[in-house]
Amino acid sequence: MSSSKSNKIVKLESSDNKTFEVEEAVAVQSETLKNMVDDGCANDTIPLPNVNGKILEMVLGWCKKHVDETVTGDELNKYEADFLDLDQADLYGLLMAANFLNVKGLLDRVLQRVADMIKGKKPEEIRRIFNIKNDFTPEEEEEIRLENAWAFD
């Protein structure tokens, strides 16, 4: 019958109805998709309602690069480093997608990038970086600050 290396195509549909077709070897970089393939649920188009087309294309690009045997170690390093040169909205979309699709290497990198943005920063700085509104009342803020004062030098 068929050879041991599957030439199967996996079809994916993003939240904004864009379809993508990739080889199974690419798709299974995602543990989530791998589980579906293993369970025999990957024969029809798989809908991904929480990943939009732009982000899905990025994730699949990453996966493709990582199964491409012609890519050298150095090229891959550079690719990975440049990959996260994104604006914040895309970065977070990527994080959510990598988390949902469980693409380990990608998830690790994105998590580390965002964690590095937070490390050592005060709450006000974190709000600035992530454009977060301070919805605390002054009393609430003071109460929470006091009850957690033990954690800081």
Partner 1 sequence: MEEAEAERTWNRETIPKVLRIVSTRLPQRDLISLLLVSPWLHRTLLSYPSLWLVLDLCEMGNAGNRLVAAISLPRYHHVKQIKLEFAQDIEDKHLELLKSKCSDSLQNLESLNLNGCQKISDKGIEAITSACPILKIFTIYWNVRITDMGMEHLVKNCKHVTDLNLSGCKNISDKSLQLVAENYPKLESLNLTRCIKLTDHGLLQIVFKCSFLQSLNLYALSGFTDEAYKKISLLAHLKFLDLCGAQNLSDEGLSCMAKCANLVSLNLTWCVRVTDAGVIAIAQGCTSLEFLSLFGIIGVTDECLEALSRSCSNTITTLDVNGCIGIKRRSRDELLHLFPYLKCFKVHS
The minimum distance between CB 122 and partner 1, in angstroms, equals 7
Which strand ranges, in their side-by-side order, compose the sheet holding 19-23? 19-23, 9-13, 46-47
How many amino acids of this chain bind partner 1 (CB under 8 A)? 34
Q: Which of 1, 85, 133, 138 binds partner 1 (CB under 8 A)?
A: 133
User: What is the DSSP code (8-state) at residue 150?
Assistant: G
DSSP characters over 87-117: -HHHHHHHHHHHHHHT-HHHHHHHHHHHHHH
- Examine residue 131 and tell whether it contacts partner 1 (CB under 8 A): yes
The minimum distance between CB 128 and partner 1, in angstroms, equals 10
3-state secondary structure of 22: strand
- Examine residue 54 and tell whether it contacts partner 1 (CB under 8 A): no
Segment interacting with partner 1, rule: CB under 8 A, options 52-60, 61-69, 71-79, 130-138: 130-138
- Cβ nearer to partner 1, comparing 42 with 55: 55
Q: Which of 17, 70, 119, 138 binds partner 1 (CB under 8 A)?
A: 119
Q: Where are the beta strands (DSSP E) in the chain?
A: 9-13, 19-23, 46-47
